Amino acid sequence: MLSIIIPVYNEKRTVEKVIDKIMSLNYIEKEIVVVDDASKDGSIQVLENIKSKYPEIKVLFKKVNEGKGAALRDGFKVSTGDYVIVQDADLEYDPSEYKKLLDALNIEKTDVVYGSRFSGTYEDMSNLHYIGNKMLTLITNILFGVLLTDMETCYKLIPGNFARKVKIKSKRFNFEPEITAKILRAGLKIREIPITYKGRSKIEGKHITWKDGISALMTLIKFRLMN
C-alpha cells in the first residue's frame, strides 16, 4: 500500500482538486494522510467537507503553524503504507505519475525513487528557483558522492518503515535536504525517473523563498557532518 502524505497550508483553491485526482487512481491501494498546518484561508473548512466526501482519508489539524517538515513528520507517524510519498497540496505535481515511480521499484533494484523535474519536463519555474535547485543538487552530489539531478523534488518514494522511524528535525522546507541526507547516510540507493512539473508564482500561492535555499544549504552541511 502507498501512503500519500499531503501537507496543507492555505491551499483552499487547490487541495480538493489534488485529492480528487488521487482518489481517481484505481490501480493502487492507497492511504491518504492530510496534515493541515493551521491554515488561515479557509482550507480547514474545505478539508472538513473533504472528510465527509471521503471518510477513509485521515486528516490531522494542527493548532499551531510549524512548517512543512513538521507537518510531514506528523503525517509519517500515522502512515501505515509499505511506501510513502509526499504530495504538495497545489497542482505543481501530477498524482497520475505515481505509477512511474512505483514501476521503477520493479525495473531496477533500488530502495528509494525520486521523480526528477530536470530529467523530465518543467514549466513556469523562476530563474531563482531553477538556479537554487541546481546548486543545492550539485552540493548534495559533492557532499555525498552521488549523481542526482533533482534533490529538491517533492516526489520522493520512500519505504514506509524508514519514513516512520527517521527523526526529522527540520520544520520548514529544509525537510528535503534533511531526508535526502538521512536516506544516503543510511546507505539506501536512490533511483531517479523523469516527471513533469508546472510551477506557480508567489501571487498564486508559492510559499518557498530564497531564505529557504540558504537554510537548505546549511541543512545539507549539518547532516553530512553529524555523527
pLDDT interval class at 214 (50, 70, 90): confident
204, pLDDT greater than 50: no
Q: Strand locations in 98-224, DSSP E?
A: 112-123, 156-159, 190-198
Digit-coded pLDDT (tens) for 101-147:
999 988 878 999 999 999 988 887 878 888 888 988 998 999 999 99
| CB half-sphere exposure, 217, CA atoms < 13 A | 12
pTM beyond cutoff 0.85: yes
Q: By three-state DSSP, how is residue 156 classified?
A: strand
Q: Which helix (H) or strand (E) holds 2?
A: strand 2-8
Closest CA to 36 of 74, 80, 78: 74
CATH class of 2-225: alpha beta
Q: Which residue has 493541515 as its cell numbers?
A: 36
pLDDT at 202 over 60: no
Q: Is the pLDDT of residue 70 over 90?
A: yes
Percentage above 70 pLDDT, the chain? 92
Using 50, 70 and 90 to split pLDDT, how confident is the model at 166?
Answer: very high
pLDDT tens across 6-43, in order?
Answer: 999 999 999 999 999 999 999 899 999 999 999 999 99
User: Would you kindly state where each structural domain of the chain is located, as residue ranges?
Assistant: 2-225
